[in-house]
Amino acid sequence: MSVSFGRLERSGHERTYKVTEGEAREAAHALVPLAQVPLSASELESYLGSAADMLRGLVDQADFKAFIFPLMFFKRISDVYLEEYTAALAASGEDHEFAAFVENHRFVIPDGCLWDDVRARTSNVGQALVTAFRGIEKANPDALYGIFGNAPWTNKQQLPDAKLLTLIEHFSSRSLASSVVPPDVFGAAYEYLIKRFADQSNKKAGEYYTPRPVVALMVNILDPKESEYVYDPACGTGGMLIEVIEHVKAAGGRPQLLWGKLYGQEKVLTTSGIARMNLLLHGVEDFEVIRGDTLRDPAFYDRDRLARFDCVIANPPFSLKKWGEVEWSSDPWGRNKLGGVPPASYADWAWVQHMVTSADPVTGRVAVVLPQGALFRGGKEKAIREHILKSDLIEAVIGLAPNLFYGTGLAACIMVLRCRKPAERRDKVLMVNAETLFRKGRNQNTLEPEHAAAILDAYIAFADDPGFAHVADTAEITANDYNLNIPLYVAPKQGSEKLTLEQALANLADARLQAQATRAALETELAKWGL
């Protein structure tokens, strides 16, 4: 359905309406969703989850997000636009020209680009979606450019018109206006869906999703304030930035004071779009998330130096290869001054160098997830590690349990750096061995709230706790040749649970049986297809 809300044609100084005032009012009211009872969080999660289930068998689970999130966002902004239009009509005594003013709307939606315009199509639905998406992006270049991504909507073999129409009708069954779904409820449901997709795709999820208990721990350690600037150089779907808002809110602060102070960069187009949607759906009105390669082409700078932030937080890709080490040797931003150039096969310390260079020299705090290999590998990485330690930038190293992160069973760590340590922490590094703090899961382990609380307490206390935490001074670290391997400083408690040889063999036997069963099931399915 295409409706012109009081669109004007100019002829000299005269104005003529393409539709009569009464027709425009009638059309506007017809498009406004009927009043509905507000959706609860569980109802919204079920509604969104059912939409994702409709793609099974057509789209790889790892790609669900590229289709569901744009549709969800399109429906949301269309419903909100109509809600805003109705409110403006009521406030202006049914002045449809006034109701269409850009000032009355969060986003501009051009003629023919509303949800119901696409819903009215019965053929070439994918192309209609693309046309609407590009029209909205073009009309809102500062806020929405590229936000809908580049999913293959026009591929009818993958997404035939009938399936797209079914999906659109499902979304059309409920209003997603703000009066029905407030931003906090919508934001929580959006995060639920991101985690659901991460659970389903697992290995690929490590590229864009960090388990929320780990995110919350990192944010609590940095303790951002409402007046501070925050930056995530590998922001994925925006979870770190969202958690910063939640942290400020929980501390009694005003999250609105963070508007205009949240920054992120993400290399993958679809993922950067999801991050922007995430922030918008949480009600964040002013932020910057830029698509781009952070190490090769950082997006935020101030003339001849990188922009500086109070808090820099990230879970960058582990041990990234071919990351741009050649360009790093002559880096115009001076990041290589922090100990040199990392090796071509491991970008871990390049991320640390970038994040420290992006931190304010007085207030700057950094929290970054790294593979534990970065703590003890030699060569170029050792030189960088030594330089950063001698600069007294590392405040804490927290070793986490294995298999907490998607896509890897390896144990990771959180490294905390501070540009200006308090006097009592200077020339010291807190080492925490939290390898036993987890709840074992079938496919993945979980850091529970009580585990995160224990780690945070250890960070705040900054004191020795035998078998768990140790404050290492410069002399001790130097004696270990700048090796930060956690067991050198904190041996596990003697009473901590260890597998016996018999238990390990039994676990191995179980794993083999599961692998055999999985292989048999796969072969059965392949046989059905004659493969």
Q: What is the pLDDT of residues 275-317, one digit of tens each?
A: 999 999 888 989 999 999 999 999 999 999 999 999 999 999 9
Q: How many domains does the chain have?
A: 2
pLDDT at 5 over 80: no
| 530, part of any domain | no
pLDDT digits (tens, 9 = 90+) for 93-103: 888 889 889 99
In this prediction, residues 211-224 reach a mean pLDDT of 95
| 17, part of any domain | no
pLDDT digits (tens, 9 = 90+) for 158-170: 899 999 999 999 9
Q: Is there a single domain that holds both residue 143 and residue 223?
A: no
pTM metric for this prediction: 0.82
Question: Domain range for residue 236?
Answer: 195-488
Check residue 48 and give its pLDDT. 87
- Please write down the long-range contacts of 331-334, taking CB distance under 8 Å and 24 or more positions apart: 332/304, 333/298, 333/301, 333/305, 333/306, 333/357, 334/305
pLDDT at 10 over 50: no
SS3 state of residue 368 = strand
pLDDT at 17 over 50: no
Q: Is there a single domain that holds both residue 115 and residue 264?
A: no
Check residue 443 and give its pLDDT. 78
Greater model confidence, 42 or 423: 423
Check residue 506 and give its pLDDT. 47
| 293, part of any domain | yes
In this prediction, residues 463-474 reach a mean pLDDT of 97
Q: Is there a single domain that holds both residue 169 and residue 294?
A: no
Q: Is there a single domain that holds both residue 216 and residue 141?
A: no
Q: Is the Cβ–Cβ distance between 28 and 89 less than 8 Å?
A: yes
Residue 74: band (very low, low, confident or very high) from pLDDT cuts 50, 70, 90: very high
Q: Is there a single domain that holds both residue 292 and residue 384?
A: yes
Q: Is the Cβ–Cβ distance between 462 and 431 less than 8 Å?
A: no
Q: Is there a single domain that holds both residue 125 and residue 259?
A: no
pLDDT at 530 over 80: no
Paired tokens of 342: 């990392």
> What distance in Å separates the CA atoms of residue 242 and residue 196, rounded to the nearest whole number?
17
In this prediction, residues 471-498 reach a mean pLDDT of 86
In this prediction, residues 347-353 reach a mean pLDDT of 98
Residue 186: band (very low, low, confident or very high) from pLDDT cuts 50, 70, 90: confident
| 526, part of any domain | no
> Percent of the chain scored above 70 by pLDDT?
84
Check residue 501 and give its pLDDT. 55
Check residue 493 and give its pLDDT. 66
The single residue listed with the structure tokens 């540009």 is 419
Last residue of a domain, one of 150, 181, 212: 181
Q: Is there a single domain that holds both residue 150 and residue 279?
A: no
Q: Is the Cβ–Cβ distance between 486 and 397 less than 8 Å?
A: yes
The domain that contains 107 carries what CATH number? 1.20.1260.30
SS3 state of residue 6 = coil
Last residue of a domain, one of 469, 488, 507: 488
Check residue 30 and give its pLDDT. 52
Point out the least confidently predicted range of 248-262, 364-378, 392-406, 508-522. 508-522
Q: Is there a single domain that holds both residue 177 and residue 223?
A: no
| 115, part of any domain | yes
pLDDT at 211 over 60: yes
| 337, part of any domain | yes
Point out the least confidently predicted range of 122-131, 341-350, 490-499. 490-499
In this prediction, residues 225-243 reach a mean pLDDT of 95
Point out the least confidently predicted range of 61-65, 129-133, 380-384. 61-65
pLDDT at 22 over 60: no
Q: Is the Cβ–Cβ distance between 267 and 295 less than 8 Å?
A: no
Last residue of a domain, one of 181, 214, 239: 181
| 520, part of any domain | no
Q: Is there a single domain that holds both residue 403 and residue 267?
A: yes
Q: Is the Cβ–Cβ distance between 376 and 415 less than 8 Å?
A: no
| 381, part of any domain | yes
Q: In which element (H, E) is residue 43 found?
A: helix 41-53
Check residue 203 and give its pLDDT. 54
Per-residue CA distances from 92 to 95, 111, 266, 298 (Å): 5, 22, 42, 46
pLDDT at 46 over 50: yes
The domain that contains 476 carries what CATH number? 3.40.50.150
Paired tokens of 61: 């689970």
CB atoms within 10 A of CB 347: 25
Q: Is there a single domain that holds both residue 159 and residue 222?
A: no
Q: Is there a single domain that holds both residue 97 and residue 209?
A: no
> Percent of the chain scored above 90 by pLDDT?
64
Q: Is there a single domain that holds both residue 176 and residue 200?
A: no
Cα dihedral 78, 84, 87, 88 sign: negative
